[in-house]
């Protein structure tokens, strides 16, 4: 893992170049192969217990749009290590800060503007679909969407892990009220007559759906969000991982490195969330990506507060296994007013899972970088 930091970090960004199948008569949108960096903990420091005084924000707004972000220099190696360092909050209220190192393995080594505007997140005709019926809600991929007790949405990405937006549990300065007793809600069928329906379907007819809640054991939030305080840099790091106290026993969706927008099937993304204007409903939508930066996807998927934290996914061909596979490539963050040649335009924004973010989130899940070599 030797090498100078400057060369090392340059290599980290160069490794984002994937291998793409050429277009042809039988071309399929294929998951690119990436050479991934390694993000490893270096030291951990105990911190004072937080106050949990922040008010939950169900959306984040920023005035820095695509051109603003594209004009910003990429972080240096030292800055990237700072942004990818992270805080861990435990259920007992204790808190730690972990500093990280970033490495590139050789081949074969290891294995707002101040003006008040009405926030509009519905673009023309409302193209969202409410998902009804247990046959859909309890089946993949909709069953991977869960609700946070702070009001946001999350996505199941492992047996005990949920990916969501950082602002759902931390406002950039301190933790949101209720985070110490954070719970994750799973939609379950609610039966008449108190039956379970195991053998007697006539005595247990599904009437409605209800949430069954599981407590969160610990949370991870990148320091890029905390230090950024939801400003231009902060939105790039608006993601968090929750570890549940027990397995959820559902099929989950793996994370993946976000391909360039032009490589996405139809140039589209998909996500499902618990929008506040449709209480109790899981709402699905898909739309075209309008623009992108290294860290963000700009789109006009219809969404309302409550959908924040939803996993943005696509379905592409997995060459190694010769099958189609959905993967989470981003996290729906919030709303932006963007100055487009002097004319304000609004977008909804998703945080892209870059190679560095993939390496970090995967390590949080697996605890072993050798299990994080394929994005």
Any domain includes 196 = no
pLDDT one-digit tens code per residue, 14-70: 444 444 444 444 678 999 888 899 999 999 999 999 988 888 776 676 667 777 777
- Nearest residue to 158 via CA among 364, 368, 373, 355: 364
pLDDT one-digit tens code per residue, 86-128: 999 999 999 999 999 999 876 544 443 333 333 445 445 455 5
DSSP alpha helix (H) spans, 207-259: 223-228
The catalytically annotated residue of 126, 193, 232, 288 is: 232
Query: How large a percentage of the chain has pLDDT more than 70?
Result: 74
Beta strands (DSSP E) in the chain are 38-47, 61-62, 86-90, 95-103, 129-131, 145-148, 153-156, 161-164, 183-191, 206-222, 240-244, 268-273, 282-292, 296-299, 311-318, 323-340, 343-352
Any domain includes 286 = yes
Residue 342 clears pLDDT 50, i.e. is over it:
yes
Q: Decide: 300 and 144 in contact? Cβ < 8 Å.
A: no
Any domain includes 21 = no
Q: Is 281 helix (H, G, I), strand (E, B) or coil?
A: coil
Any domain includes 271 = yes
- Taking phi first (over 0 means left), then psi (-120 to 50 degrees means alpha), and beta for anything else, what does residue 194 get? left
Tell me what pLDDT residue 138 has. Answer: 75
Any domain includes 267 = yes
Tell me what pLDDT residue 373 has. Answer: 86
Tell me what pLDDT residue 263 has. Answer: 93
Distance from C-alpha of 276 to C-alpha of 148, rounded to nearest angstrom: 13
Beta-strand pair 145-148/129-131:
unpaired
Q: Decide: 325 and 314 in contact? Cβ < 8 Å.
A: no
Check if 308 is active-site: yes
Average pLDDT over residues 345-372: 93
Q: Decide: 84 and 39 in contact? Cβ < 8 Å.
A: yes
Any domain includes 114 = no
Q: Decide: 163 and 328 in contact? Cβ < 8 Å.
A: yes
Any domain includes 195 = no
User: CA of 278: how far to CAs of 49, 59, 348, 362, 364, in Å?
Assistant: 36, 16, 18, 33, 33
Tell me what pLDDT residue 209 has. Answer: 75
Distance from C-alpha of 328 to C-alpha of 313, rounded to nearest angstrom: 4
- Nearest residue to 352 via CA among 265, 238, 219: 238
- Nearest residue to 134 via CA among 199, 204, 216: 204
Q: Decide: 56 and 178 in contact? Cβ < 8 Å.
A: yes
pLDDT one-digit tens code per residue, 286-331: 989 999 999 999 988 888 888 999 999 999 999 888 999 999 999 9
Tell me what pLDDT residue 339 has. Answer: 60
Check if 232 is active-site: yes
- Nearest residue to 168 via CA among 157, 153, 185, 181: 153
Which CATH number fits the domain that encloses residue 143? 2.40.10.120
Tell me what pLDDT residue 71 has. Answer: 78
Count structural domains, the chain. 1
Note down the domain range covering 42: 37-103+131-190+207-366
The catalytically annotated residue of 61, 69, 145, 167 is: 167
Residue 202 clears pLDDT 50, i.e. is over it:
no
Average pLDDT over residues 249-257: 95
Q: Decide: 308 and 153 in contact? Cβ < 8 Å.
A: yes
More confident site: 255 or 134 = 255
Tell me what pLDDT residue 270 has. Answer: 93
pLDDT one-digit tens code per residue, 155-164: 999 999 999 9
Tell me what pLDDT residue 301 has. Answer: 85
pLDDT one-digit tens code per residue, 169-196: 999 889 999 999 999 999 887 765 555 5
DSSP H/E element including 371: none
pTM: 0.83
Tell me what pLDDT residue 93 has. Answer: 93
- Cross-strand partners of 241: 163, 220
Any domain includes 116 = no
The catalytically annotated residue of 61, 85, 272, 308 is: 308
Distance from C-alpha of 275 to C-alpha of 145, rounded to nearest angstrom: 12
Confidence bin at 250 (pLDDT 50/70/90): very high
Tell me what pLDDT residue 198 has. Answer: 43
């Amino acid at each position: 893992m030797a090498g100078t930091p400057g060369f090392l970090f340059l290599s980290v960004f160069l490794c984002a170049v994937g291998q793409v199948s050429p277009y042809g008569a039988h071309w399929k949108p294929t998951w690119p192969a990436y050479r991934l960096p390694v993000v490893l903990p270096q030291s951990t420091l105990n911190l004072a217990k937080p106050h949990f005084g922040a008010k939950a924000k169900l959306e984040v707004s920023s005035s820095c749009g695509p051109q603003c972000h594209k004009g910003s220099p990429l972080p240096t190696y030292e800055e990237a290590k700072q942004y990818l360092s992270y805080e861990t909050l435990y259920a007992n209220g204790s808190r730690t800060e972990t500093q990280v190192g970033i490495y590139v393995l050789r081949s074969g080594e290891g294995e707002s503007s101040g003006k008040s505007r009405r926030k509009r997140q519905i673009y023309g005709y409302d193209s969202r679909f409410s998902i009804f019926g247990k046959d859909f809600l309890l089946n993949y991929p909709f069953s991977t969407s869960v609700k946070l007790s702070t009001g946001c949405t999350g996505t199941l990405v492992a047996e005990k892990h949920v990916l969501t937006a950082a602002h759902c549990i931390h406002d950039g300065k301190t933790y949101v009220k209720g985070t110490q007793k954070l719970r994750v809600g799973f939609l379950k069928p609610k039966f008449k007559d108190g039956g379970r329906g195991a053998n007697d379907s006539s005595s247990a007819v599904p009437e409605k759906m209800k949430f069954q809640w599981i407590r969160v054991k610990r949370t991870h939030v990148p320091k890029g969000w905390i230090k950024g305080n939801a400003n231009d840099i902060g939105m790039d790091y608006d993601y968090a991982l929750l570890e549940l106290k027990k397995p959820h026993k559902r099929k989950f969706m793996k994370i993946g490195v976000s391909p360039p927008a032009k490589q996405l099937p139809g140039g589209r993304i998909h996500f499902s969330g618990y929008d506040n204007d449709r209480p109790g409903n899981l709402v699905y939508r898909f739309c075209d990506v309008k623009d992108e930066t290294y860290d963000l996807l700009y789109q006009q998927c219809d969404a309302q507060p409550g959908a924040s934290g939803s996993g943005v996914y696509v379905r592409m061909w997995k060459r190694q296994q010769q099958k189609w596979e959905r993967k989470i490539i981003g996290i729906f963050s919030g709303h932006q007013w963007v100055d487009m040649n002097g004319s304000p335009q609004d977008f909804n924004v998703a945080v892209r899972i870059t190679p560095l973010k993939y390496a970090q989130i995967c390590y949080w899940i697996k605890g072993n970088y050798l299990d994080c070599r394929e994005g």
